[in-house]
């Protein structure tokens, strides 16, 4: 295949969540091309299961797709924060439930073609009622569904968020269903 290497990286935009770069790549035969690269600080998500077996989901408006999206609770890593701590923090912030125990399910890169965002996904069925503590620019509603309903939502196109799809299907597989 030959070696491909980055020979230059220029910062185009420094954002709150992401940084956008223009990478100059070198290919075999000294050919070059410019590629877009988005650097992301990383994130975590969690599948919260209540005592009745329902999964707590969040519905929020997503500007990139210009519509509301039904998702598992998730958010970006704070500086120095590990994924598990982030997932537990986001659970309480977004849903008003907290936990003292979460199990790792999987890690995934969201869009490998141009972004390094990696999300650690966890699950918990040890929920304690707490208080929702949304960021000032977050508007989230809480909804509860059975695992079967969520799987149907995935295959009917109601859920189209990659981390949620991967998390729900991995959780279903973990249960052996």
Planar angle of CA 135, 137, 139, nearest 5 degrees: 85
- Known catalytic membership, residue 136: yes
Token pair 């069925």: residue: 125
> What stretch of H or E contains 171?
helix 162-174
Antiparallel, parallel or unpaired: β 67-71 and 74-76: unpaired
Q: Which of 3, 66, 131, 136 is catalytic?
A: 136
d(CA 66, CA 9): 31
Catalytic residues: 136
């Amino acid at each position: 295949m030959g070696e491909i290497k980055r020979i230059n990286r220029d910062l185009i935009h420094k954002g709150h969540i992401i940084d956008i770069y223009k990478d100059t790549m070198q290919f075999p035969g000294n050919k070059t091309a410019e590629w877009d690269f988005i650097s992301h600080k990383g994130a975590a998500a969690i599948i919260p299961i209540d005592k009745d077996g329902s999964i707590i989901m969040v519905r929020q408006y997503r500007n990139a797709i210009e519509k509301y999206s039904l998702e598992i609770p998730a958010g970006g890593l704070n500086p120095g924060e590990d994924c598990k701590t982030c997932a537990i923090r986001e659970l309480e912030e977004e849903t008003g439930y907290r936990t003292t125990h979460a199990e790792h399910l999987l890690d995934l890169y969201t869009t490998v073609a141009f972004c390094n965002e990696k999300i650690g996904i966890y699950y918990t069925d040890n929920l304690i009622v707490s208080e929702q503590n949304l960021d000032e620019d977050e508007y989230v509603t809480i909804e509860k569904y059975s695992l079967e309903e969520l799987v149907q939502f995935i295959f009917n196109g109601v859920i189209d968020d990659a981390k949620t799809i991967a998390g729900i299907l991995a959780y279903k597989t973990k249960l052996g269903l």
